[in-house]
Amino acid sequence: MARQSLPITTGTAVQNAAAAPFVELDNVGLRYSEAVDTQALSDLRMTVGKGEFAAVVGPSGCGKSSLMKLVTGLLPPTSGVLKVAGQPVNGPLKIIGMAFQNSTLLPWRDILSNTMLPLEIVQPHRSRLRSNRKEYEALALSLLDAVGLGGFEKQSPWMLSGGMQQRANLCRSLIHSPQLLMLDEPFGALDAFTREELWAVLQDLWLQRQFTCILVTHDLREAAYLADVVHVMSSRPGRIVASHRVDLPRPRTLESTFDPKFVGIVHRIRGEIAQVRNESKLGIAPVQGAV
């Protein structure tokens, strides 16, 4: 059966994120061999420019979470070159903040001390925390206020709704001013209305701070709403088969999601994911598109 390459642009052509990418994966592969030998990622190429918001989408089991583990330094690649901030990744990175689907707030700490937890771990903040506690507390309170949690800093996590816990989780991931924020399905467990509220919260934080961000999500509307570029992964072994620059003005609103251009991007990505799933069932290897 003839293989047709996937379209790789929507609207204007997708350009390289930057002359010197902040995150660069070149021909990266990852193989798990502890129990069952599995090739999770293969020949994966992706770049993310400094200050860029990138989203990664794809079918279940395509290796999105494995990609997150590689970029954060939690796992080493088995092949290829992986660099962050121009340096090879040889272990867990201190310049990264992370947030997951579950908030993972510590139940015995109030929201303020949960938010400040990275400051107890990451240098140079750890060495400065005792002598500069008031300054750091003011920073944490400012972040909490920015996401609508002003006045809740002394509450326990169980006293907050799921959406409020994820707001606090975002604050915790940003308190140490990371250069790169990694988000793994951060709103996946929330209802649709709360998710959409938090899209706006996250967009506002990114516009204010301009950190580099990689979001892994199954929600294609979420990807198109938040990202500058949406990367589409193939079925396992995962690789990037298409990339789309979301050429819509910011700040985006829920009304933006009804824009025909926005709807067109979402439908095109949905079609690509359906295509790679069908090809996986037929045993056809995906062709990697150039970003």
What's the pLDDT score for residue 17? 42
Domain 96-178 has CATH 3.40.50.300: yes
Q: What would the pLDDT profile of 87-105 be if each residue is shown by its tens digit? A: 999 999 989 999 887 778 9
What's the pLDDT score for residue 13? 33
- pLDDT over 90 at 197, yes or no: yes
CATH number for 1-93+180-186+209-291: choose from 3.40.190.10, 3.30.470.20, 3.40.50.300, 2.160.10.10: 3.40.50.300
Cα distances (Å, whole numbers) of residue 22 to 25, 176, 212, 290 = 10, 19, 8, 18
Out of 45-54, 58-67, 158-167, 208-217, least confident range: 58-67
- pLDDT over 50 at 11, yes or no: no
- pLDDT over 60 at 290, yes or no: no
Place of tokens 């700490």: 109
What's the pLDDT score for residue 282? 65
Distance CA 46, CA 70 (A): 12
Report the share of the chain in percent with pLDDT over 70: 88
Q: What would the pLDDT profile of 134-181 be if each residue is shown by its tens digit? A: 999 999 999 999 999 999 999 999 999 999 999 999 999 999 999 999
3-state secondary structure the chain: CCCCCCCCCCCCCCCCCCCCCCEEEEEEEEEECCCCCEEEEEEEEEEECCCCEEEEECCCCCCHHHHHHHHHCCCCCCEEEEEECCEECCCCCCCEEEECCCCCCCCCCCHHHHHCHHHHCCCCHHHHCCCCHHHHHHHHHHHHHHCCCCCCCCCCHHHCCHHHHHHHHHHHHHCCCCCEEEEECCCCCCCHHHHHHHHHHHHHHHHHHCCEEEEECCCHHHHHHHCCEEEEECCCCECEEEEEECCCCCCCCHHHHHCHHHHHHHHHHHHHHHHHHHHHHHCCCCCCCCC
Q: What would the pLDDT profile of 237-269 be if each residue is shown by its tens digit? A: 999 999 999 999 999 999 999 999 999 999 999
- pLDDT over 60 at 2, yes or no: no
What's the pLDDT score for residue 188? 86
What's the pLDDT score for residue 101? 79
10 vs 197: which has the higher pLDDT:
197
7 vs 84: which has the higher pLDDT:
84
* Intervals of CATH 3.40.50.300 along the chain: 1-93+180-186+209-291, 96-178
What's the pLDDT score for residue 104? 86
Q: What would the pLDDT profile of 20-41 be if each residue is shown by its tens digit? A: 789 999 999 999 886 677 899 9
